[in-house]
A and B are shown apart, each in its own frame.
Chain A
Amino acid sequence: MLYRENGQFKTSYRADQQIFPITQDRVLILALLAFAFVAVPFLASEYFFRAILIPFLILSLAALGLNILVGYCGQISLGTGGFMAVGAYAAYNLLVRIDGMPLIVAILLGGVFSMGIGVLFGIPSLRIKGMYLAVATLAAQFFCDWAFLRIKWLTNDSSSGSVSVAGLNVLGWKIDSPAEKYLFCLGFLVVFGLLAKNLVRSHIGREWMAIRDMDVAASVIGIRPVYAKLTAFAVSSFIVGVAGALWAFVYLGSWEPAAFNINRSFDLLFMVIIGGLGSIMGSFFGAAFIVMLPIFLDNVPRMLGMPIDTALASHLTFMIFGALIVFFLIVEPHGLARLWSVGKEKLRLWPFPH
């Protein structure tokens, strides 16, 4: 950025291992968090909360989960929508079937169930790779779609197959207004973001990356592929499951299995690819991009005073999406996160480059 780390000497291992070793970065992040927690609830309009911020937060969380699997461990998964559905329906069932179930516990247990399913469908990853694994995880997606459509017990025998939750509250705090919902999701995101960041910096994260970069070499130096791959599946689907529960409870309120169909999986994969594989920051960029682009494309012609046909706008969105994904894969496979860091590097020298 415009600042440099000059003169910031680290005198202990602790200082050296911080998430943000540069003071200015730390201050900026804390300021950003303070802004998100304190200022945004007063500034944003209802539409901004409900249509942009809340979906952004929840999908960032899901993208974060998927990024651990795809970006850090190199296991391509197309079952994300299914894992989200498991989280959502498990949390729903826990909430309606057990009296007095606290909301947060239900959501976290939803994640645990999703973790179980994730590990189960992750087992094939021990034998197959790449495209083949993607197809195997696709099976998870279709299996979950099928299960929540056809097994009536899972939807509490709802006649239409659509389920809903009402009256969300945590220890007496009623989560009702858009700002409260936003804060609730933000809380989850911050905790899981910190957790994920620390995980990928730890020995386990390094194991994942070793497996990603070359699994044979990794196993030669003593990393157990079984352990590394399955933990990646577990952590990833846990986070994705929690995101699914939040998506259902907080954003939709009432949902059917189609809310977690294959398109959701693709969307999340695109987020991770566009945002940046193997980057925590990238998950946020990707989610912001995918959530906002269609809304942006919808609004631009209208703002310019030349409304275009609804169908055309939606087809344009598809085309621009497709083009951008191809563009990123060719020009910058590391996605927006890489662009961000390149930008930061350049700005260090700005305005007097060599």
Chain B
Amino acid sequence: MKLKSIALTAACMAAALSAAVSTPALAQAKEQFFPLLVYRTGAYAPNGVPFANGMQDYLKYINAKGGINGVKASYEECETGYATDKGVECYERLKGKGATVFQPLSTGITFALTDKAPGDKIPLITAGYGRADSADGLSFKWNFPLLGTYWTAADILIQHLAKKEGGFDKLKGKKIALVYHDSPFGKEPISLLQERSKLHGFDLQLLPVAHPGVEQKATWLQVRQGRPDFLLLWGWGVMNSAALKEAVATGYPREKMYGVWWSGAEPDVKDVGANAKGYNALAMQHGAEPNSKIVQEILKEVHGKNQGTGPKDEVGQVLYMRGLISSMMAVEGVKRAQEKYGKGKVMTGEQVRWGLENLNLDQKKLDALGFAGVMRPVSTSCADHMGSSWARLHTWDGAKWTFSSDWYQADDSILKPLVKQSAEKYLAEKKLSKRDNADCSS
């Protein structure tokens, strides 16, 4: 009897499963489908959740406002847990549902999808992360590291240090430690930092921290011994708060610590609270923006109608804003594509790619969208898929993030050759060729 019931359940499961896979739910006629690759579980969840909420809330907001020129934005989340193989599965699943633009939300997944996207003709937006060399649109037709990469981030941090010290020549002989997450994410900035260290003669110390970054005692022992003049933190999730706690325990001054933008949000410092006071982090364009117009609008249109995705008090926090802006870029890409291919129509992946490549968000448009003061204008082109490399720094004052520097722009004279070299290496490895002008203008 027991066996019978088990066999029965198994048979039912198998039948249901085959039904599930044989009838892929296709996006309906007037809906633009936005796949959301998120991680709400695992070691990175504290940071992944606000990000995911922001991404979803913006789409809800767009729908509340009547969609993209009348086209409703539909979406579906898929949990990747920051794991590459899970991300690939999510990609395949959501691709089949009519996805036209992907945001992998993990550098590892970006690497894996970079090879698949051209074949499937789906653009990838990696706003602020992913492959730094994919800023070269001539080599990476389908990648859009909008608003900056890890190389611009590292470059700007070094610029800030130089400014603080009173010139690049003052960096000579200084010791700068990079405490990084030992994954493609953490390793991306190394080549740029090495270039800068050769140029200015500072001493770069590389201190890797193994996934997920809870255990950092050995790393901080090295910090204690080396006493670097500055410490760059390239962490994510629990690694950041663990690093700050270790810094407190080691007695390393938080004022000398500079995080990348993944390390500069509320969840990272919340646990450490007042002890993290003085800790700086890069704010790629935006910081915490609770007073911006778009946040007020979302509170009114989405949370006000009990449609909000996450807790209300997190709206406007750093990572929430990051998710919001990521979604906004995708929506704007679709909007731009509609200008060329017909307003009020559902765009294909190729059309969205054109839209992203020809983005032109000037100040007026940003103001209209409610992003005044949140970010600077972005315009992309065939050769430049990044669009903007402005950033500033913010500092934790014990209770909130406040901006503590002017705007910086990454130094093209250093970035460009690196991007070119790395992109060429990629093309050579994959036996691909650069896009020609005809391909650009199409």
Contact = CB atoms under 8 A, between A and B. Distances in A.
Nearest to B94: A47
B19 interface: yes
Interface stretch (B180-188, B223-231, B282-290, B391-399): B180-188
Given A52-B21, A311-B79, A296 B93 contact: no
Interface stretch (A71-79, A154-162, A184-192): A154-162
Contacts of B81: 314
Interface string A25-39: 000000000000000
B92 A167 contact: no
A256 B83 CA distance: 10
A160 to B, nearest CB: 4
Interface string B13-49: 1001101111011000000000000101100010001
Interface string B74-94: 000111010111001100110
A346 B3 contact: yes
A145 to B, nearest CB: 8
A252 B79 contact: no
B108 A256 contact: yes
A335 B52 CA distance: 38
Contact of B112 (A45, A254, A298, A339): A254
A161 B206 CA distance: 14
A295 B85 CA distance: 13
Contact of B108 (A50, A51, A258): A258
A261 B86 CA distance: 13
A17 to B, nearest CB: 31
A339 B3 contact: yes
A285 to B, nearest CB: 10
Contacts of A302: 25
Interface in A150-178: 150, 159-162, 164, 166-167
Nearest to B426: A164
A317 to B, nearest CB: 9
Contacts of A254: 111-112, 114-115
A150 B207 CA distance: 11
How many chain A residues sit at the interface, stated as a range, is 35 or more
B87 to A, nearest CB: 10
Interface string A280-314: 00000000000010011011101100000111011
Contact of A166 (B25, B45, B108, B430): B430
Given A51-B92, A259-B84, A253 B79 contact: no
B431 A167 contact: yes
A165 to B, nearest CB: 9
A343 interface: yes
B38 to A, nearest CB: 6
A310 B24 contact: no
A310 B78 contact: yes
A224 B301 CA distance: 75
A346 B24 CA distance: 36
Contacts of A51: 88-89, 92-93
B108 A162 contact: yes
Interface string B180-210: 0011100110110000000000000000101
B38 A261 contact: no
Contacts of A50: 88, 92
Contacts of A295: 89, 93
B79 A313 contact: yes
B306 to A, nearest CB: 16
Rank and list the top 7 A-B pairs by shortest CB-CB distance, nearest first: A311-B40, A160-B184, A51-B92, A47-B96, A162-B184, A310-B77, A166-B430
14 contacts: A46-B95, A47-B24, A51-B88, A51-B92, A159-B188, A160-B131, A161-B184, A164-B112, A164-B429, A166-B430, A167-B431, A252-B112, A263-B83, A310-B77
Interface of B: 3, 6-7, 13, 16-17, 19-22, 24-25, 38, 40-41, 45, 49, 52, 77-79, 81, 83-85, 88-89, 92-93, 95-96, 107-108, 111-112, 114-116, 131, 182-184, 187-188, 190-191, 208, 210-211, 422, 429-431
Given A251-B85, A251-B88, A314-B41, 20 more contacts: A46-B92, A52-B21, A145-B210, A160-B187, A160-B188, A162-B111, A164-B115, A166-B430, A167-B430, A255-B112, A259-B108, A298-B78, A299-B21, A300-B16, A303-B19, A309-B40, A310-B52, A310-B79, A313-B79, A314-B79
